[in-house]
Amino acid sequence: MNKDHQLQEINRSKKSYIIYKSKKGFDLYTDFSKRIVLNNRNVFGFLNKKTSTKKYKETDLFIGFFGYELLNNLIGVKIPKQRNISFPKGIFYKPEKKISLNDKLIYNPKTKMSFPKKFKININSESYKKIFDKFKKKIKSGETYQIKICTKYKMRSKVDPLDLFCRLSHTNLAPEAFMIKDKNYSIISCSPENLITKNGSTITTKPIAGTVRKTRKMNKNKALKYFKNNLKETKEHNMIVDMERSDMSRICKVGSVRLSREKVIEEYKDLFHYVSLIKGQLKKNVKNIDIVKAMMPGGSVIGCPKISTLNLLNKQEKENRNIYTGSFGYFKFNGDLKFNIIIRSILNFNNISEISVASGVVVDSSSKHEFNENYIKAKALIDLFK
């Protein structure tokens, strides 16, 4: 049976499975022997779990996600009561089967999805401007230097997650793309941002700060020139890079944290991103829980400084972020790990599809520009429902 047929069979079998972008294509994980639903109490035990093994197999890992609320709780940041959909705070799976898939996923659904309604945004431009102006005052008073305003697009819908993910992989393939299909929910993501990659004692992070819309006149070279000549974008990028270097320095050897790649352009379906890469060497005896607490939630999707900005965001936001700005990835039993930042994602739960996006506010920001940037980020996902 070829790989495409294996994917079709697993999808038809109603098994839960996960697909994650790899260097050569996609890895599919299934036949889960454990499904660990995390909460604010058991997450500490999970992160301190000893999983070393002498005979290491490629399925010797836990793969899954941390939600935004859980990550806040881990670092002692409390979230006021918000509207929520009772979605789990985090879930990890122990797979017993792994299949390597091609870069281009092929799937022919039996029935075509139809979506008669349009997405509704939870904050219109007028409401956004009020929040924006409030945070601008916080920036001018020194309570924060940069802060991300989250907006949500929602629609009641039944989805075929594999169909959506396959189409997304063809139109907007991203280096941290993933999909989870479980019995009562699915997540489809074209996340571009790696938060942590740990191989042995080496750890890297790839902050993304800076977005510009792709047009006929805006190519890759012009995008780089735009960012380099734009004071606001440069300030925002530098702040996030400095913050993530500081986060890494808490768990790395003194003097080992360095910029490995600085201010380059990455291209996606509808936009260009301004990206850097930071590398460091871990201190001895650093545990998984130390790495997670130092690096999550990712600074590039929160703001700067992290803790005070999280407190400002959490007081302002009326809806739970669920998976958005949480983190998806794996802990290997040999000690290596890899996690992204959950952005550019669709959560489907109780037949409601939810897309969350955010743009950064600094002292030079324009309310109209940042509101429009949110739509640019959501567009590739919204287009899947047409």
pLDDT band, residue 53 (cuts 50/70/90): low
Q: What are the structural domain ranges in the chain?
A: 3-110+120-385
With bands split at pLDDT 50, 70 and 90, how would you rate the model's confidence at 52? low
What pLDDT shows up at residue 63? 98
Q: Note whether 177 and 161 are within 8 A (CB).
A: no
Residues 6+ apart with CB under 8 A from 28: 6, 7, 10, 17, 18, 19, 98, 99, 100, 101
258 membership: H or E segment, kind and range = strand 258-267
pTM: 0.91
Look at residue 103 in the predicted model and tell me its pLDDT. 78
pLDDT at 1: 56
Least confident of 13-17, 78-82, 187-191, 234-238: 234-238
Could you report how far apart the first and last alpha carbons of the chain are, in Å?
33
Residues 149 and 157: their CA atoms lie apart, in Å, by 25
The H-or-E segment that residue 241 falls in is: helix 231-249
* CATH 3.40.605.10 assigned to 3-110+120-385: no
Residue holding tokens 């735009």?
226
Locus of tokens 């703001």? 303
> What are the beta bridge partners of residue 188?
179, 346
- The pair of three-digit structure tokens given for residue 313, joined into one six-digit string: 């965001």
Query: Is the pLDDT confidence value at 362 over 70?
Result: yes
Residue 116 pLDDT > 80:
no
